[in-house]
Amino acid sequence: MGITGIFGALVALVALLLYTFRVLREYERGVIFTLGRFWKVKGPGLIIVIPVIQQMVRVDLRTVVMDVPSQDVISRDNVSVKVNAVLYFRVIDPQKSIIQVEDYLAATSQLAQTTLRSVLGQHELDDMLAERDKLNADVQSILDRQTDAWGIKVANVEIKHVDIDESMVRAIARQAEAERERRAKVIHAEGEMQAAEKLVEAARILNQQPQSLQLRYLQTLTEIAGEKSSTIVFPLPLDSIGTLLGTKPGGN
């Protein structure tokens, strides 16, 4: 046997050893098939795969962060919007993720897109903008339930953007402005009502105590005297003069 033959044999031996001994990281698992039939899941660490007889498929157990492409959604109140989201999931059963579905990444992505359109289409635009946490939970629950057969756990779904047409943005702005004006008028009306109630109460108290009314007249005179006015005409009822002097009108 020549040098070329020996070198070829060494290369084949090294390749055989590399194929036989595999090292799986802590976050990896190897799904082993023996003559085409599932045998077991191995890893992490050093594992042995019998050449020709056995085959191994690596599965990553780390959390996958997947962008859900922008989807055209028509809300329940017939508003067209574009919505995109981000999906967090990981493989918890390597055997199912390889045997039950051809490509679990592509399958999860397609399922997330259809589920996002389906769930958001059942809600009005205001719900999409104001109740995003609830919508995230609904989408996450549906995806987690449907991907369980693939050995996948959906941890979280976050809606990132809800894009609206420019005309709809202007309509929402007008609606918000009208709502602010309505609240301002309601607050103003409530203030007027409270002020009227206080005035009625004050009038009732003054009516019960005539001396208080005289003090109010004197206070008003003091306030007017501080103004830059040369002549002040202030009506003062006769009964008020009598009260101040301690006599009744018409008396001596």
pLDDT of 98-151, one tens digit each?
A: 999 999 999 999 999 999 999 999 998 888 888 889 999 999 999 999 999 999
pLDDT at 93: 96
Q: What is the pLDDT of residues 194-220, one digit of tens each?
A: 888 887 887 777 677 666 666 666 666
User: How far is Cα 156 from Cα 206, in angstroms, rounded to an integer?
Assistant: 67
pLDDT at 79: 84
Q: Which residues partner with 54 through β-bridges? A: 34
Total residues belonging to the chain = 252
Task: Summarize the confidence of residues 155-183 as an average pLDDT.
Answer: 78
Q: What is the pLDDT of residues 101-116, one digit of tens each?
A: 999 999 999 999 999 9
Distance of CA 151 to the CA centre of its chain: 28
Q: What is the pLDDT of residues 33-88, one digit of tens each?
A: 999 999 999 989 999 998 889 999 999 999 999 999 999 998 888 888 899 999 99
Tokens read off for 190: 């409530």
The CATH number, out of the four listed (3.60.10.10, 3.40.1190.20, 1.20.120.1730, 3.30.479.30), of the domain defined by the range 64-169: 3.30.479.30
pLDDT at 61: 96
User: How far is Cα 139 from Cα 119, in angstroms, rounded to an integer?
Assistant: 7
pLDDT at 224: 66
pLDDT at 26: 94
| pTM for this prediction | 0.65
User: How far is Cα 96 from Cα 130, in angstroms, rounded to an integer?
Assistant: 38
From 70, 40, 72, select the one nearest 54 (Cα to Cα): 40
